[in-house]
Structure 1
Amino acid sequence: MVRPVDVARRAELLEGTMRYAAEHGIAGLSLRPLAAALGTSSRMLVHYFGTKEELVARALTAARPDIPELLDARREAGETPAGIAASLWRDLTTGGERKPRTRLLLEAMALALTQPDVYGKFAAEAIEAWVTPLARVLREAGHRRRDAVARATVLVSGLRGLALDRYLTGDRQRTDDAARHVIRAATGLTP
């Protein structure tokens, strides 16, 4: 007889997996050390998630913020597209709760280059999850659809690349200066 899944326990394990992966990375993630850190067994992780790949995919999805909700809140607060982009930059690069999640997402994006069968779908969805709502913000600011999509792509790809640079080098001044240039070029406005 198959044991029913405890939804609360699965959510707890997923949150723990996300924290563990953010600290230890996902490239060499193994179920046994993860399970030990979570106070469970690899067998129970398989029971709750099926495979390691499914568990990692769910943890990555849980790490990604609800972008439309974030952008809507900022638009409702009266932020301009440049201000929204500057807020995005701060979210990507400041410490606190978001930093481990951001690092985890950046790692998955980089791994998608060499392991597209494992991380490619997630990476494509993550890009789309940012580009589409940012393009909507830029369209509402008066840009044509194709131009808004291109500008949103510049913002997403440019700021993500600069965030990776920042995490690797620790150079705050240079990456902040570069982010302002990307934001100005993409929005046509200074944040």
Structure 2
Amino acid sequence: MSESRDDLLSRILGFAARDGLADRSLREIAAGAGTSHRMLLYHFSSREGLLAAVVGAMEERQRAAMTALAETAGTPGELMTGVWRAVSSPEARPFVRLFFEVFALAARGAAPGPPGLTTSWLADAEKAGERLGVETDPAMLRLGVAVSRGLLIDLLAGEDPGEVDAAHDLFVRLAGQAPPPAAEQGR
């Protein structure tokens, strides 16, 4: 009887949240998820393919959380702060580490990365802006993703979380003072 890929991925995400995946062998991941390494290979082709699938699933969950936050946030700054709190939380750290590991493998050409690692965030952030009733600037959205990822690296490197949060808060304030997109300036 074959296990569903989605069910298996869900169990792997639970294992990853508890124990991390970055330094685990395929057999250790399989044991932690209650399956065999052959099932992992069947569904994901390789350890790298599995890691890319896990990162893709976690990124999808985080973007869904951003979309949900957009329903209750009163301002873009509240949304940005809420998303930052979610992605920088201690509970998210195993996935953040894994994100950068998979990103490094993909950048070296050693493994496939999840498709649309940045473009998917940009598209969902644009939709979140629409929900808030604000026109978004694609360059500012991309800058927000880049700033957040850079600050996440600081957290992983052991920098003081209070100082990293303060830097993000500053970015939110500066983004709120940015001039409107070029398309709006001529109106």
Distance apart, 1:130 and its partner CA? 1.2
**TM-score computed with the length of structure 1 as normaliser:** 0.73
Contact 2:12 2:29 in 1 (8 A): yes
Instruction: Report if the CA contact (8 A) 2:69-2:79 is conserved.
Output: yes
1:177-188 to structure 2, matched below 5 A, reads: 177-188=166-177
Q: Which residue of 2 aligns with 1:89?
A: 84
Alignment of 1:107 with 2:96, yes or no, is: no
Which 4+ stretches in 1 moved above 6 angstroms? Answer: none
Matched residue, 2:151: 162
1:131 equivalent to 2:122? Answer yes
State percent identity of aligned pairs: 26
When residues 35 and 70 of structure 1 are mapped into structure 2, their CA distance, relative to the original with a 3 A threshold, is: closer
**Residue in 1 aligned with 2:39?**
44
From 50, 56, 78, give the equivalent of 2:51.
56
TM-score for the superposition, normalised by structure 2:
0.74
Partner Cα distance (2:62, 2:30) in 1: 30
How far 1:166 sits from its partner (Å)? Answer: 1.4
- Number of residue pairs the alignment of both structures matches: 175
Aligned CA distance change for structure 1 residues 142 and 31 (closer, same or farther; 3 Å): closer
Q: CA deviation at 1:176?
A: 1.2
Deviations along 1:88-128, whole A, 9 cap, x unmatched? 111122223x3322332233234433x33514x42x51211
Letter in 1 for 2:134: A
Distance 1:77 1:42 in 2: 42
| Structure 2 unaligned residues grouped into runs of 5+ | 179-187
Which residue in 2 is equivalent to 1:77?
A: 72
In 1, the alpha carbon distance for the partners of 2:70 and 2:35 equals 43
The answer as to whether partners of 2:151 and 2:164 remain within 8 angstroms in 1 is yes
TM-fit CA distance, 1:64: 1.9
Q: Deviations over 1:146-170 (max 9, x none)?
A: xx11111111110111012012124
Which residue identity lines up with residue 3 of structure 2 in the other structure? D
**Which residue pairs with 2:142 in the alignment?**
153
| Structure-2 change in CA distance of 1:12 and 1:136 (3 Å) | closer
